[in-house]
Amino acid sequence: MILYISDTHIGENSDSIYDEKLLKLFQKTDDRLEEVVIVGDFLELIDSPCIESDSWDAQEHIKLLDKINLVHSELFNRIRKLSEKIRISYVYGNHDYMVGLCPEVSSKVRQMMGDIDILPYHYDEKTKVFAIHGNQFDVFNRFSSDENGKLVNPVGERLINYIAHSFISQMSQVVPEEILRDYVDVYPSIDIPKWFSYLSEVYRCNMKMKKIFVNTLVNFCNSQELKQWLDINYPDSKTFLKIAANRYGGTVISSILARMVLAIKRIKNSNYLMKKSENLLCKEFLIDEKYVLGYGNRTIKFSTTQVEGLIMGHNHLPALKEYSGKFYANTGSWKDILIFDKKNENKFIEKKRISYIEIEKTGDSLEKKLVLEEI
């Protein structure tokens, strides 16, 4: 049996209850486990005060990994022992891309996890299943390249860091920082402004929080980082924004950009990965080079008979769907989520969920199972 998991986001502050569940899963499946495939974002290497925005500093990440290893030592000890018995494949995502792109970080992760394969994507010839994190199909969370061919960090990552270092640092005088940082657990992420609005009511700082949050977004939308990203991904926007800025002023344009960012995020919170998988599985399995910058950097192509299943993570939406004898699966996530309560507009519901995919080939048949639990 091959076990596919992703989006555990194991970090310096993540809940140990997920370690316990993962240890129990390894124990439960020990006698039939042939391989573990991590489909990205196993480690949380972005949302941390230890990491500066856009940092490619190996030592910063190694220090963070030392902290993570200390907090989750029992889990990593078990993974190391497991790697001596079976194959463990680590497909890196957009929150742990340094695992694949920085040799020093790769080496550190192997010290923690044992003799593992670190890959941009995974293909199993026996089952004909292809696995990739999925951020490659999300314009906000994939790499771009500038005119010199240098990788440009995903704008989604930049926004996370910008909020963490600007908004939270200003508001932590009024609202406890650990509560503010829960914004990363809000699902879908388009409801993050509602989360901050909810906190502003609880801590009676409505006007101050709204003002700082709006200013944070506006400042980000006026930043060189976003302008660079727009130039690369939406080159036609440059002329429009220049004309509009001359006519209406930079503050108005920044406000428009902020609304654009949120509108695009709303679209991206739909199950776009499922739609993409249907095209890949049923029409042509071709992933253009521009989608996999930083993840192999070359076009991925298979014939229609070479891929029977496609597994992704990234959007935290567990799924298992059949397409004319083929299938798409999403591994979901292992993390707390905060969901806006539509019945009570002044409340968020906290849930702890885990999900994973089991694939087992018996003769000519391929058994597929999505396991989803609330804990």
Domains along the chain with CATH numbers: 2-142+273-374 (3.60.21.10), 144-268 (no CATH)
Q: Measure the CA angle with vertex 12, ends 6 and 17; round to 5°.
A: 60
Per-residue confidence (pLDDT) for residue 139, from 0 to 100: 85
Per-residue confidence (pLDDT) for residue 209, from 0 to 100: 78
Angle between helices 237-248 and 250-268 (to 10 degrees): 140
- Segment 16-34, tens digit of pLDDT: 999 999 999 999 988 899 9
- pLDDT band at residue 190 using 50, 70 and 90 as cut-offs: low
CA contacts within 13 A on the Cβ side of 241: 20
- C-alpha closest to that of 171 among 204, 213, 202: 213
pLDDT score of 260 more than 80: no
Per-residue confidence (pLDDT) for residue 241, from 0 to 100: 56
Structure tokens at 201: 């009511």
Please give the model's pTM, rounded to 2 decimal places: 0.87
For residue 115, the SS3 value is coil
Per-residue confidence (pLDDT) for residue 270, from 0 to 100: 56
